[in-house]
A and B are shown apart, each in its own frame.
Chain A
């Protein structure tokens, strides 16, 4: 890595040693995050990791308890900063009786230099739907309108908070194409949050992994992918889950109706050991683990002992 870890230019937005609490819950714990101008940074983590809190701090929707949030060198909630920012947030609805064109006209009025309406429509792939009320759009079309609302102010900095949650695979890929075309080629700074490694891989230049309010990894998508190379092993066997969970390299083992499921960093070693222990083992299947499992690996050092022990032989599964 050459320029991506230390920027030659000031960051477009930045969290400096930010701690944020909600009551007793520590949502963010001393988080540093700087967004390099013109690049797409993905903030990746499981639900509740603190991703949305980061976005809300940078949008000036909430204030840090300690540390500082800055956008273009100023307060995130100042009008001068907000007119340079667009956001796609996890919200369920905008008024259903207003039409696509009307929503865009209203949002465009908030910005000094909005995109022309036709361009905003095209940016989100909403051609032909201008006259349709929000309530009559499909899930994918609704999400594209949210994207159009984020883009209509022609922002320098764009926040995409879990932009494809609830979309089917096809709609998700179509959405990525839109974002890539409109964002990467135009040199906007983007902060994308997601719990899909695939999404971060498709869109981002840099991936920051956050878990339980702390940054646990930071690197290119390829680096993160290789670090998150956990495998999920499934098989039908008489072996006891608790025993398997104790094998080297296994981060979790549990029994369900379909058999034994194991998450491990190095599948080869584990499979060899399993076959040695149970020659009658059948239905062996090794797949890439989800991000959630990968995080169990990435965050091993950060985990405390009392909550969620690594070798959780799940109770009540028998």
Chain B
């Protein structure tokens, strides 16, 4: 299938730092593509170049096989990481302003319902909660009924409840078979929403693929977590590799029975034991040797 968006050898050199260092990938139609990485990995710069609001030092971005142009601006929906709206406008007026900037698009009332903004439709957009503002910005991004939707860290700073509401909304939009490009530093969010992810670090893509496939490729084990205080004895004497992670101990193993027997042999209480599958945070650690949220 012909990709909707194609990024080729993108480089962005700032005076002090090479923010994007030769990035290439392509996004198929109807796919939710996640660009992951820690703060400062180059995600936002990459996305801004793809949105046409930042110029690359070299490389190119193609929309439907063409360089970004008037057609792209008319057909793309964009939610920036930080966006100020015009002061003194209500939610409905803000939406109406953007609706008029496009030749065709969705009905403003329909968007207000879709993004659960009915309660605040007449409120000044400066008086919205974080979650409400993100939903308004999403509604604005959808105002032209976009072929491709860019969401740059849409849930950063939201409380868990608001984040889950936002995820439900994105899933509803995904169900319309829209192409979505999402950047996030929440691995859980990427796992929950994205069909394909690319992990970025220091301006480069270090892994790309479906989340579950990436995990299967890199891990064949699970993680046993125990409180540090429940574990007696010398970690070095334990027959399996141990990882001290804060006040917890993590044991990675493909053979859970063997690990449990070893723990029981040493009289370790299993009351607080947790077994979890490998997640994208582990993958990032594995790939870079660094914690994601540092």
Question: A and B: partners?
Answer: no
Q: Which residues of A contact B (CB under 8 A)?
A: none
Q: Which residues of B contact A (CB under 8 A)?
A: none
